[in-house]
Amino acid sequence: MSRLTQIARRLGVREEYDPFMTLAFLSLPVIPELKLTNRGLVDVTQWKIISVAPK
């Protein structure tokens, strides 16, 4: 996990942001509107893949 965190930092992820905790949080069943799938982040109420790329 520390190696993945180092790579994330090199890619520009800020220190105060933990991308892996966010991924774990999104997979929780207590969040029914959004799900993380093999196709990306999905809004299950609208059945749409949500872009995570900055605009």
Q: What pLDDT, on a 0 to 100 scale, did the predictor assign at position 49? A: 92
Range of the domain at 24: 2-50
Is residue 20 assigned to a domain? yes
The closest of 17, 36, 16, 18 to 26, measured between CA atoms, is: 36
Is residue 23 assigned to a domain? yes
On the question of pLDDT at 55 being above 80, the answer is no
The number of distinct structural domains making up the chain is 1
Q: Provide the whole-model pTM.
A: 0.44
Is residue 55 assigned to a domain? no
Which helix (H) or strand (E) element contains residue 49? strand 48-50
